[in-house]
């Protein structure tokens, strides 16, 4: 009887202990601390603890990237200063637009001015170009570069430093250097760099003043010993030749090869700077009828190359007339004001004032 009672008491104690253990709740984080202690004791890597920092860093990088570069867009490589009849990807370009990498087409009467940060580029239509981070790809047409820029052609690349006109026609690249320098990446027959100063010296015709000294004459004793040139044999007279026969012209006697007949004349003087400027001015003016955009670029390059030239008034008026022909009224108005400030008493002052007023009215309308 006592044994049964003792066994019942033990069963009741076990039940009470089991209910107490089931109702027990461990403190927060106790289970994780136990697991960490076991993993540290076993020497296993704590992979779970590294996942959260890695994910947080990746998310931060993604946020910064998408904040700096909007989704679906590429960073702009250049800024449009002015544009007319120029399009990229089916969109017409205008002043202030940001250029993305991609082909740009300029129509026949269009133009495009771009600032890349390292150079200012003017594209004269018709042309096809593409602006990249440090390179201008010129497929055809002509551009004027003022600064430091690499121009890539069909078969070579030219590094332009200064002011140059670069053109591509029939897969041939030509660089006309007005100031500074230009270097080709590879030697190719289809690529050519022309220094305008050297070219103008070749085009210019040197002025030779007449020699006031009398012509050199050999001594009489030497001339008497020179062999005489045999006369041309006469043709036999025919029956129907009624007119008298013409006497053959005697060939001038040449001096003996052993005698020196070189005249002591001074070498021809090199062409002056003014003659080179005149040649360059007329070469640019002749382009106005066929390629007015190219003529405008050449005229502006003359003022950059020779800022103190005596032909500056003629060049300024030629720039004004070319802008009027191209219909670029805003630039023509600024050019007219510039000329009036420099030459207030010019005979064309009235014409310049009227042009300024007409351009102002058209702008207001």
CB 113 within 8 A of CB 80: yes
pLDDT band at residue 207 using 50, 70 and 90 as cut-offs: very low
Higher-confidence residue of 318 and 213: namely 318
pLDDT for 99 beyond 70: yes
User: How much of the chain, in percent, has pLDDT values that exceed 70?
Assistant: 62
| The pLDDT value given to residue 245 | 58
Please state the rounded mean pLDDT for residues 63-76.
Answer: 51
Q: Which residue has the higher pLDDT, 196 or 267?
A: 196
Of 36 and 48, the one with more pLDDT: 36
Please determine, looking at this structure, whether the domain spanning 273-364 carries the CATH number 1.25.40.10: yes
Which residue ranges make up each domain of the chain?
Answer: 78-195, 273-364
Q: Is the pLDDT of residue 25 over 70?
A: no
The CATH-assigned architecture of domain 78-195 is: Sandwich (2.60)
Query: According to the model, what pLDDT value does residue 90 have?
Result: 86
Give the confidence band of 50 by pLDDT, cuts at 50, 70, 90: low
HEC-encoded secondary structure of 88-148 = ECCEECCCCCEECCCEEEEEEEEEEEEECCCEEEEEEEEEEEEECCCEEEEEEEEEEEEEE
> Judging by beta carbons within 10 Å of its beta carbon (0-12, 13-18, 19+), is residue 193 exposed, middle or buried?
middle
- Minimum mean pLDDT range among 7-16, 93-102, 236-245: 236-245
Confidence of residue 278 (pLDDT cuts 50, 70, 90): confident
pLDDT confidence bin for 248, thresholds 50/70/90:
low
Do the domains at 78-195 and 273-364 have one common CATH topology? no
- For the cut 80, the answer to whether the pLDDT of residue 194 exceeds it is yes
CA distances to 74, 124, 163 from 178, in Å = 35, 17, 6
What angle, rounded to 10 degrees, do the helices at 273-285 and 292-305 form? 160
Quote the pLDDT of residue 114: 92
Mean pLDDT of 47-61: 62
* Mean pLDDT for all residues in the chain: 75
- Per DSSP, the three-state class of 261 is coil
Q: Does residue 211 register a pLDDT over 60?
A: no
Reported as type and span, the H/E element at residue 157 is strand 157-169
Instruction: Give yes or no for residue 159 having a pLDDT over 90.
Output: yes
pLDDT > 80? residue 121: yes
């Amino acid at each position: 009887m006592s044994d049964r009672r003792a066994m019942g008491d033990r069963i009741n104690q076990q039940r009470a202990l089991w209910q107490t253990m089931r109702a027990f709740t461990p403190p927060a984080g106790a289970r994780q601390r136990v697991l960490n202690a076991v993993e540290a004791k076993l020497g296993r890597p704590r992979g779970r603890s590294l996942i959260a920092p890695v994910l947080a860093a990746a998310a931060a990088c993604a946020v910064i990237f998408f904040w700096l570069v909007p989704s679906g867009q590429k960073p702009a490589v250049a800024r449009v200063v002015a544009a007319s009849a120029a399009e990229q990807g089916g969109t017409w370009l205008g002043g202030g637009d940001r250029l993305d990498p991609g082909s740009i087409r300029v129509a026949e009467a269009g133009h495009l001015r771009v600032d890349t940060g390292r150079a200012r580029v003017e594209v004269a239509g018709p042309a096809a170009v593409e602006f990249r981070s440090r390179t201008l790809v010129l497929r055809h047409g002509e551009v004027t570069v003022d600064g430091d820029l690499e121009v890539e052609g069909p078969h070579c690349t030219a590094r332009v430093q200064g002011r140059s006109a670069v053109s591509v026609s029939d897969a041939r690249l030509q660089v006309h250097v007005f100031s500074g320098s230009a270097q080709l990446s590879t030697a190719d027959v289809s690529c050519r760099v022309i220094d305008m100063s050297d070219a103008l010296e070749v085009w210019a015709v040197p002025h030779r003043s007449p020699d006031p000294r009398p012509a050199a004459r050999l001594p009489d004793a030497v001339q008497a010993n020179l062999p005489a040139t045999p006369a041309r044999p006469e043709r036999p007279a025919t029956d129907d030749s009624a007119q008298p026969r013409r006497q053959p012209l005697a060939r001038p006697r040449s001096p003996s090869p052993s005698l020196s007949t070189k005249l002591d004349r001074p070498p021809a003087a090199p062409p002056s700077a003014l003659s080179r400027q005149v040649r360059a001015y007329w070469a640019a003016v002749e382009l106005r009828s066929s390629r007015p955009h190219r003529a405008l670029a050449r005229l502006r390059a003359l003022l950059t190359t020779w800022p103190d030239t005596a032909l500056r008034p003629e060049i300024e008026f030629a720039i004004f007339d070319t802008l009027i022909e191209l219909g670029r009224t805003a630039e023509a108005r600024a050019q007219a004001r510039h000329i009036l400030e420099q030459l207030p008493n010019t005979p064309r002052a009235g014409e310049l004032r009227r042009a300024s007023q007409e351009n102002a009215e058209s702008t207001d309308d």
